[in-house]
Amino acid sequence: MDADTLSEVLRAVRLTGAIFFDLRASSPWVEAAPPGPVIASAVLPGVQHLVSYHVVTEGACWGGLLGEPPVRLEAGDVIVFPHGDAHVLCSAPGMRKEPDVNIYNIYLRERRAGLPLSLKSGGGGPDHAHLVCGFLGCDVRPFNPLIATLPRLLIVRDRAGSSPGWISQLVRLALSESAAKRSGSEAVLARLSELMFVEVIRRHLEALPEGQTGWLAGLRDPFVGRALALLHERPSHPWTLAQLGREIGLSRSALAERFTFLIGQPPMQYLLHWRLQVAAGLLTQGSKVAAAALEVGYDSEAAFSRAFKKVVGQPPASWRDRKLERTHLEGLRRAGSRVLGESAPGERPVTATMR
């Protein structure tokens, strides 16, 4: 496995996150989360894709995808929903409720008061659970090989005695940071959230069984992992299958077969998609189409535009302009929130009770 390749992908897809909810529950209790696209604009405005996660810090509970059997979770466990599916957390299997979308709008209005949003749930029974819940945002278009390879439900056990136990340590740091309410805490919590996600991915990668396919399995393969590293290190290079094979010590046919089996597409097709993702990042920063095309190895702006439109569904200039407009509007909205200061009349306080 080449760890730098994973880091490069996480940078390119603009991973960002924050810890939003500090949930304390007592039996009987049940909370349901709606699909990511329903709440994305409230919790992380401007992101393409929303990943949700929950860390159990005390007690135990059950969690899982709606309509599927739940999994028991104990202190130290992390449950992640990489594809943003609707899901449920509860004190006992089989409990259900309708998601409360308004709670996410409360967060958007009140985030200037500090993170996390403190929540209470349940009927005051003897079984208690404490969870730290949050979200991560990232790009999925033009290309995000990591999200595509992850399962709908991902669980990592980080209980006492496990090694190295980084997730539990990060959660403790996050709780300490949120309690202190120091300047810059939102940025610190966002970085801690991203670090937790990276550690979850590492644990998942280490636990992959032999014979597994997918992008992460490709990273772990000595030949395909090296090929991926080269393509990511030098996306603008005029790679050919033969040259890539020589670099890693495989014939053209052996490389094509091994790469396609593990990754799900041939090396040159993968390179095309990765170039477009790198170019998309440049466009998001305001680069001209011709400059972005040249940066990722296209001699012709027209050829780049055709490839981009075929994969993304719109020309690169239009895609860039829409992205920049959304970024500008979000900046204005955040600035307006800071100017408002105190909550408007009728708005609910930061501490909310979930029923």
Q: How far is the C-alpha of 109 from the C-alpha of 344, rounded, in Å?
A: 9
Answer whether residue 2 shows pLDDT above 50: no
Mean pLDDT of 204-228: 94
Task: Summarize pLDDT for 134-167 with one digit per residue, the tens.
Answer: 899 999 999 999 999 999 999 999 865 555 578 8
Q: How far is the C-alpha of 224 from the C-alpha of 256, rounded, in Å?
A: 10
Q: How far is the C-alpha of 221 from the C-alpha of 344, rounded, in Å?
A: 56
**Closest to 215 in 3D by CA, of 273, 153, 150, 280:** 150
Q: Name the residue with higher pLDDT: 97 or 63.
A: 63
Do 235 and 192 have their domain in common? no
In the prediction, which pLDDT does 170 show?
A: 87
Tell me if 145 sits within 8 A of 232, measured CB to CB. no
Do 68 and 169 have their domain in common? yes
Tell me if 258 sits within 8 A of 224, measured CB to CB. yes
Answer whether residue 341 shows pLDDT above 70: no
Task: Summarize pLDDT for 85-101 with one digit per residue, the tens.
Answer: 999 999 999 999 888 88
Do 135 and 195 have their domain in common? yes
pLDDT confidence band for 330 (50 / 70 / 90):
low
pLDDT confidence band for 112 (50 / 70 / 90):
low
Of these ranges, 44-48, 153-157, 167-171, the one predicted with the greatest mean pLDDT is 153-157
DSSP state of 94: T
| Residue 335 is assigned to a structural domain of this protein | no
Do 62 and 140 have their domain in common? yes
Q: Which of 161, 181, 207 is the last residue of a domain?
A: 207
In the prediction, which pLDDT does 352 show?
A: 39
Which residues have CB under 8 Å from 277's CB, separation 6+? 12, 13, 139, 142, 143, 144
Give me the CATH number covering residue 273.
1.10.10.60
Mean pLDDT of 67-82: 94
Q: How far is the C-alpha of 41 from the C-alpha of 48, rounded, in Å?
A: 9
Answer whether residue 126 shows pLDDT above 60: yes
Residue 124 has which token pair?
């005051």
Query: Residue 161, Cα to own-chain centre: how many angstroms?
Result: 27
Instruction: Tell me what the pLDDT averaged over the chain comes to.
Output: 87
| Percent of the chain with pLDDT strictly greater than 90 | 66
Answer whether residue 348 shows pLDDT above 50: no
In the prediction, which pLDDT does 324 show?
A: 85
In the prediction, which pLDDT does 323 show?
A: 84
Do 189 and 231 have their domain in common? no
| Residue 345 is assigned to a structural domain of this protein | no
Q: How far is the C-alpha of 53 from the C-alpha of 81, rounded, in Å?
A: 6
Answer whether residue 31 shows pLDDT above 80: yes
Do 152 and 279 have their domain in common? no
Amino acid at 210: E
Mean pLDDT of 275-290: 95
Do 222 and 203 have their domain in common? no
DSSP state of 181: T
Residue 29 has which token pair?
């209790």
Q: Name the residue with higher pLDDT: 317 or 106.
A: 317
Count the domains in the chain: 2
In the prediction, which pLDDT does 340 show?
A: 42
Do 237 and 202 have their domain in common? no
Q: Name the residue with higher pLDDT: 271 or 46.
A: 271
Provide the residue range defining the domain that includes 28: 14-207
Mean pLDDT of 305-310: 96
Answer whether residue 355 shows pLDDT above 60: no
Answer whether residue 1 shows pLDDT above 60: no
Mean pLDDT of 169-178: 83
In the prediction, which pLDDT does 328 show?
A: 65
Do 285 and 162 have their domain in common? no
Tell me if 350 sits within 8 A of 117, measured CB to CB. yes
Residue 163 has which token pair?
């090694």
What is the reported pTM?
0.86
pLDDT confidence band for 45 (50 / 70 / 90):
confident
